[in-house]
Amino acid sequence: MREIHDITIIGAGPVGLFTTFYAGMREASVHLIDSMPEVGGQLSALYPEKYIHDVAGFPKIKAQDLVDQLYEQALTFSPKITLGESVLHVNRLDEEIFELITTKNRYLTRNLIITAGAGAFQARKLEVENCDSYEGENLHYFIKKLDDFKNHDVLICGGGDSAVDWSLALEPLAKSVTLIHRRDRFRAHEASLSELRASNVEIVTPFEVAEIFGSGNKIDQVLIKEVRGEKTSLLDVDSIIVNFGFITDLGPLKKWGLDIHRNSIRVNQQMETNIPGIYSAGDICIYKGKPKLIATGFGEATIAVNQAKLRIDPKARVNVHSTHLFEKTKVI
For the residues of 205-259, what is the DSSP string, one character each? TTEEEEEEEEETTEEEEEEEEETTSS-EEEEE-SEEEE---EEEE-GGGGGTT--
At residue 44 the predicted structure's pLDDT band, cuts being 50, 70 and 90, is confident
Q: Cα(232)–Cα(318) distance, rounded to whole angstroms?
A: 61
Mean pLDDT of 33-44: 89
Burial class (CB in 10 A: 0-12, 13-18, 19+), 21: buried
Q: Sign of the C-alpha dihedral, residues 61, 79, 329, 303?
A: positive
Closest CA to 182 of 228, 237, 247: 228
Least confident of 61-70, 131-140, 201-210: 131-140
What does the pLDDT read at residue 325? 63
Q: What is the DSSP string of 152-220?
A: -EEEEE-SSHHHHHHHHHHTTTSSEEEEE-SSSS--S-HHHHHHHHTSSPEEETTEEEEEEEEETTEEE
Mean pLDDT of 54-77: 95
Determine the straight-line distance between the first and last CA of the chain, rounded to whole angstroms. Answer: 25
Least confident of 5-9, 70-74, 101-105, 121-125: 121-125
Q: How many CB atoms lie within 10 A of CB 161?
A: 18
What does the pLDDT read at residue 156? 97
pLDDT at 254 over 70: yes
Q: Which residues pair with 295 in a beta bridge?
A: none
H helix intervals, 251-293? none
Amino acid in position 133? S
At residue 306 the predicted structure's pLDDT band, cuts being 50, 70 and 90, is very high
What does the pLDDT read at residue 227? 95
Burial class (CB in 10 A: 0-12, 13-18, 19+), 276: exposed
pLDDT at 330 over 70: no
Q: Cα(220)–Cα(315) distance, rounded to whole angstroms?
A: 67
**Which comes out higher in pLDDT, residue 53 or 78?**
78
Q: Cα(331)–Cα(24) distance, rounded to whole angstroms?
A: 10
Q: How many helices (H) and strands (E) does the chain have?
A: 7, 22
pLDDT at 218 over 80: yes
pLDDT at 319 over 80: no
At residue 9 the predicted structure's pLDDT band, cuts being 50, 70 and 90, is very high
Mean pLDDT of 251-270: 93
Q: How far is CA 108 from CA 98, 170, 257, 311, in A?
A: 6, 46, 19, 16
What does the pLDDT read at residue 332? 46
Mean pLDDT of 47-69: 91
Output the furthest CA–CA distance in the chain (Å, rounded).
71
The Cα angle at residue 238 between residues 235 and 243, in degrees rounded to 5: 80
Alpha-carbon 33 to chain mean position: 16
220-224: long-range contacts, CB 8 A cutoff, minimum separation 24 = 222/155, 224/180
What does the pLDDT read at residue 327? 65
Mean pLDDT of 139-151: 89
Q: How far is CA 83 from CA 8, 48, 86, 106, in A?
A: 13, 19, 9, 14
Least confident of 119-123, 145-149, 180-184: 119-123
Percent of the chain with pLDDT over 70: 96
pLDDT at 225 over 80: yes
Q: Which residues pair with 207 in a beta bridge?
A: 226
